[in-house]
Amino acid sequence: MKNEPKIRIKGFEGEWKKLSFSETFTFLRNNSLSRAELNYKGGLVKNIHYGDVLIKFSEIIDVNKETLPFISDNEISKRFIPNAILKDRDIVFSDAAEDETVGKCSELLNVGINKIVSGLHTVPCRPFIEFANCYLGFYLNSKAYHDQLLPLIQGTKISSLSKAAFLNTNVSYPLSISEQRAIATYFRHIDSLIETADKKIASLKQVKEASLQSMFPKEGLKVPEVRFKGFEGEWKTSKLSTFAKRVTRKNGNLETELPVTISSQDGIIAQTQFFNSVVASSNLRGYYLIKKGEFAYNKSYSNGYPYGSVKRLEKYDMGALSTLYIVFALSKDIDHDYVIYFFKTMLWHNEVAMRAAEGARNHGLLNIGADDFLDIQIIVPPTLSEQRKIASFFDHLDKQIAIAQQRLDLLRRIKSACLDEMFV
């Protein structure tokens, strides 16, 4: 079987060369400095921590773009000059992780005059032979190479790799520097597209967050800072029960066998999709039967949702929902889409806080009953047309975010597939 990749950049051919790790790299010196011994203000020498390799850095550490911490103690820094200083095309592996990501690595680029060393739980190495910039960074993170490391991993709770483990691997590469450069350029281009898509999503989310704060009246006020042209008059404060009626219908006849849950991020979603399994009781007859278009309040608090979240069933015609949740249906006197976005603000948090029994929490749930929840005050534009205008604006933003997220997910899948198929 020829040592060639399944997918190859047009214009290149011939078998790739395979060398042992020891024929390709020499090991460099690292240190065991903890996070507490590093800072981001200044120092003589910058340090690469294994946690950053695993989570923060991609296959390439472009020193012109990435922020690296400094070693706080300059006397310690001097011990590494010049013998442990890294340079362009050096590789820094992580030798420890909580899972099979151990062995992830980054290649240095644009080191320039920076003095950089390799830190805790890293294995730094330098190639003996010439490679195109960034080729090794992508190759050594490919499935072709990482699969060689998997059987060499040690440990149970913490996965680790010894230097000896790396010596049991091989490195494959095209002899042509031009082909190496073309491969690296291709992946760098994908990374650039991913970065652009990621920034677009972040920007759209910032616009949405700012709009949620400015297009709803601040607490104690009757008009918002920003308002669509043609609308005026004070907003109305009403109890949620003015528009909402509690739903206590049970799934007694097993109208649905789909157990659902409420995710603050993903809305009302099938348990199998959220938990990767069913956590509901085998008997769903005692669960609420929630129908499409109805709302439910999740009293469970989570990061970013200190007072739980309110979601509408949109993905399915009906579902079986735990009676721990408060289910309600809205009348035609309020725009249902508007209510979705009102509950994405924080304007209702104090209302819940005042009604929750002295802020008590029971098994991770806010201690608030259904009647008290429906008693909370919500603020509403005086006309349905303004409510719909606000909802339409945020719906358009959400669709833009979803489209940008789909593009980002597609680019990541393309990159992952190419990392699998473009190396041997």
**254 in Cβ contact with 207 (< 8 Å):** no
DSSP 26-80: EE--B----GGGEESS--S-EEE-HHIIIII--SEEETTTS--PEES-HHHHHTT
Helix (H, G, I), strand (E, B) or coil at 292: coil
**Which of 179-183, 280-284, 327-331, 412-416 comes out lowest in average pLDDT?**
280-284
pLDDT for residue 283: 86
Element (H, E) at 350: helix 349-355
Q: What is the pLDDT of residue 361?
A: 57
pLDDT band at 261 (very low <50, low <70, confident <90, very high): very high
Structural domains in the chain, CATH included, are 17-175 (3.90.220.20), 177-216+384-424 (1.10.287.1120), 236-380 (3.90.220.20)
Q: What is the pLDDT of residue 281?
A: 76
Flag whether pLDDT at 313 surpasses 80. yes
Given a cut of 60, whether residue 269 has pLDDT beyond it is yes
Cα 262 to Cα 298: distance, rounded to the nearest angstrom: 6
In terms of pLDDT, which residue wins out, 275 or 169? 169
| CB 349, CB 376: distance < 8 Å | no
- Please report which confidence band the pLDDT of residue 366 belongs to, taking 50, 70 and 90 as the band edges: confident
> Looking at the predicted structure, is the pLDDT value of residue 202 above 90?
yes
Cβ pair 66, 53 in contact under 8 A: no
Q: Is 109 helix (H, G, I), strand (E, B) or coil?
A: strand
Q: What are phi and psi of 228, to 5 degrees?
A: -65, 145
Q: pLDDT at position 362, please?
A: 58
Rounded Cα distance between 132 and 155, Å, is 35
Q: Which residue has the higher pLDDT, 304 or 178?
A: 178
Phi, psi of 238 (to 5 degrees): -140, 160
Using 50, 70 and 90 to split pLDDT, how confident is the model at 217? very high
User: According to the model, what pLDDT value does residue 357 have?
Assistant: 67
Encode burial over 229-253: b for 16+ CB neighbours within 10 A, e otherwise.
eeeeeebeeeebeebbeebeeebee
- pLDDT mean across residues, the chain: 95
Q: Are 87 and 114 in contact (CB under 8 A)?
A: no
Task: Give the pLDDT mean for 311-324.
Answer: 96
Query: How sure is the predictor about 364, in pLDDT bands with cuts at 50, 70 and 90?
Result: low
275-294 pLDDT, tens digit each: 877 777 778 999 999 999 99
Answer yes or no: is pLDDT of 26 > 80.
yes
At 2 the pLDDT is 82
Q: In this model, does residue 363 exceed pLDDT 70?
A: no
What integer pLDDT is reported at residue 323 of this predicted model?
94
Which parts of 255-331 fold into alpha helices (H)? 271-275
Q: What is the pLDDT of residues 170-185, one digit of tens each?
A: 999 999 999 999 999 9
Higher pLDDT: 358 or 259? It is 259
Q: Cβ of 133: how many Cβ atoms within 10 Å?
A: 18
Q: Kindly tell me if the per-residue pLDDT of 215 is higher than 80.
A: yes
